[in-house]
Amino acid sequence: MKQRTLGRSLTVSEIGLGCMSLTGAYGATANVPREDAIALIRRAVDLGVTLFDTAEVYGPFTNEDLVGEALEPVRDEVKIATKFGFAFEENGVPAGGVCSRPDSIRRAVEHSLRRLRTDHIDLYYQHRVDTAVPIEEVAGTVKDLIDAGKVLHFGLSEASAATIRRAHAVQPMTAVQSEYSMWWRERETDVIPVLEELGIGMVPFSPLGKGFLTGTIDASTTFGDTDFRGRTPRFQGEALRANLALVETLNRVAAEVGCTPAQLALQWVLNQRPWMVPIPGTKRIARLEENIGAAAVELSVAQLDEIRDAADQIEITGARYPEELDRMTNL
């Protein structure tokens, strides 16, 4: 697989693997048997993936442990990104909300290093901005961890353009993680221009629109009680039906190109900037292989323009998060 460089010096595969769904998020059935999840991660390595994304809050904690076990035999060949910043009780139960106090970050990194079975974290993100702690303090704390060799690169997730500038002034950042796909492009007007100006890479999560752009969701699709998409406005009722107009265009162009809708959606992201590295997630090896196959898809300028024109003409309906989660973004 071709390589891309995030920031000044973090070279990774042009498509990474988001590991969140291996320990939940899309309903109870999404908890993949451990041996199957490890096999999937190792198959990704075989296919040339070198960037693996996890977080302490996924599980919580079990996702990092899973990724650590799967990648331990090839640790020197891959890059691991993880995240800090959600609040936990002393017993490890999520407390709700965020916490990026310096002492909390220093404690979190030690736990993450242990679970990941490594002596360094390649890319360490603040998962959500904590408005109670100045971002300069957060960046300074991560700078100390970089100086100590425990962290190699710093990033933010779902942060505003202003916060990115302030953090970057203290500790130069390598990447910013944000949702981005042809289905959700709001960061094109604020964050992406700042990343281009400052030389910071972007790691789009949900590049397949949480499954929407795979062509497997239609107006009759329902979601289980434990699948968070069931609480997400854009996946519900009239909003879902209205948004399907974009999928119709995606399906048509994919048929012309000779690829799957998911491959087309990923290749569209890859074509936006050379410093974007999408991290689609999956719990099935067949889907993993399909996603990685997107790297070989070639799109003409006319086809890219057609997709963008279609996306411009369709008014996407419904918020991408439930209200309580949406309030934690773009701060």
Residue count of the chain: 331
Question: Which residue carries 């994304």 as its tokens?
Answer: 53
| CB 205 within 8 Å of CB 18 | yes
| CB 184 within 8 Å of CB 209 | yes
Alpha helices for the chain (secondary structure H):
34-46, 62-71, 102-115, 135-147, 161-170, 191-198, 237-257, 261-270, 285-292, 301-313, 323-326
CA dist., res. 255 & res. 104, Å (int): 50
CA dist., res. 75 & res. 62, Å (int): 18
CB neighbour list of residue 173: distance below 8 Å, 6 or more residues apart: 7, 153, 154, 155, 156, 164, 167, 198, 200
Beta bridge partners of 31: 23
Question: Which residue carries 């736990």 as its tokens?
Answer: 111
58 is annotated as an active-site residue: yes
Would you tell me how many other CB atoms lie within 10 Å of the CB of residue 37? Answer: 22
Closest CA to 303 of 208, 213, 147, 182: 182
CB neighbour list of residue 195: distance below 8 Å, 6 or more residues apart: 164, 176, 201, 202, 275
- Could you say which of 26, 58, 125, 180 is catalytic? 58
Residues labelled catalytic: 58
